[in-house]
Structure 1
Amino acid sequence: MQRTNFSGMACSIARTLDVIGEPWSPLVLRDVWVGLNRFDQIQADLGISRKVLTERLNHLVDQGVLVRRPYDQRPRYEYHLTKKGLELVDLLMVMTRWGDRWLSGQEGPPVLYRHHACGRISDVDLRCAHCGEPMHAEDIDTLPGPGAAG
């Protein structure tokens, strides 16, 4: 099936979806973030076909989200997050907060996050970069930016 290309749209959400908008990509990024860096490790964790995983890894490398590093002579590669990829993990942490709140049920969240700076278990909280106040959908207005379409 042909993927829809959103990269040319004047919308940052659409452009982000062009990079990670199919269901396997965020899960691949999650696995690499937690230390599953080799193809076989990722495949075993996700139960994904070799063909689909190869396509996803190639796409994420082409987008500059992951980088390949050889680890033996065959060659075989490990996958690591780039700075761009690490910022995408921030997005996944926001998705996790939503999933923990609305989908985890009585069992509670499947994963907890311990903040390095304070050592406490926490979750992500969106805040304004200027004043530090909470920043949620009902707290903002959208305005055309310099990259807005015509």
Structure 2
Amino acid sequence: MTKQHIEPGQSCPVARTADVIGDRWSLLIVRDAFDGVRRFGDFQSGLGVARSVLTNRLKNLVEAGIFEVRPASDGTSYQEYVLTEKGKSLFPVVVAFRQWAEQYLFEPHEAHSQLVDTATGQPLGLMQPVTAQGEVIAPEQTRVKKNPA
């Protein structure tokens, strides 16, 4: 999605983000890319998404600068969808979704996948908003400062 896909005059950063990655398939495509998926067929088989839906979402994610299309790294005639730096910067967003779900959407002993540090094998610490000084901050300690139009 390029800027013309964003609702004109939309000043809310959350709404703009939702315009780009806010649907289920786009977010899951980005998640799978962090897990190493790069090829159309692998996205399709892993997600079970319709070919037309996947084509549309990947096109939009490329236009938004989240992915770039490259020739296959193994020299075959396939193309690969590779996260750009902009796409890689979505990692904290995906981790936040994961951690919220782990906390609220699973029963205490229900099995689920776990994101771990490859160096230690330990789960990541809880992602939380922090002040410029590194202190954890609660929602009631913040406010949205709206800029004049």
TM range (shorter): 0.7 to 0.9
Query: What is residue 55 of structure 1 aligned with on the other side?
Result: 56
> Take 2:121 and 2:141, find their aligned partners in 1: how far apart are those partners?
30
Judge conservation of contact 1:100–1:109 (CA < 8 Å) in 2: no
Q: How does 1:1-150 map to 2 (within 5 A)?
A: 5-6=6-7, 8-71=9-72, 72=75, 74=77, 76-108=78-110, 110-115=112-117, 120-144=122-146, 148-150=147-149
> Relative to 1, partners in 2 of residues 1:53 and 1:118: Cα closer, same or farther, differing over 3 Å?
same
Larger fraction in strand: 1
Q: Which runs of 4+ in 1 moved over 6 A?
A: none
Structure 1 runs not aligned, ≥5 long: none
Distance 1:112 1:131 in 2: 29
1: distance between equivalents of 2:24 and 2:42? 18
- In 2, distance between residues paired with 1:26 and 1:91? 10
Q: TM-score, normalised by structure 1?
A: 0.83
SS at match of 1:29: helix
Q: Which moved more, 1:103-112 or 1:21-30?
A: 103-112
TM-score computed with the length of structure 2 as normaliser: 0.84
Structure 1 contact 10–149 (Cα < 8 Å) conserved:
no
Cα-Cα RMSD: 2.2
Q: Is the 8 A contact 2:131 2:137 kept in 1?
A: no
Q: Percent identity?
A: 31
CA-CA distance at 1:96 after TM superposition? 1.0
How many Å separate the matches in 2 of 1:28 and 1:129?
31
Residues 38 and 80, structure 2, Cα contact 8 Å, conserved in 1? yes
CA distance in 2, matches of 1:33, 1:7: 31
Which segments of 5 or more consecutive residues in structure 2 lack a partner in the other structure? Answer: none
Give distance in 2, aligned partners of 1:88 and 1:6.
21
| Count, aligned residues | 143
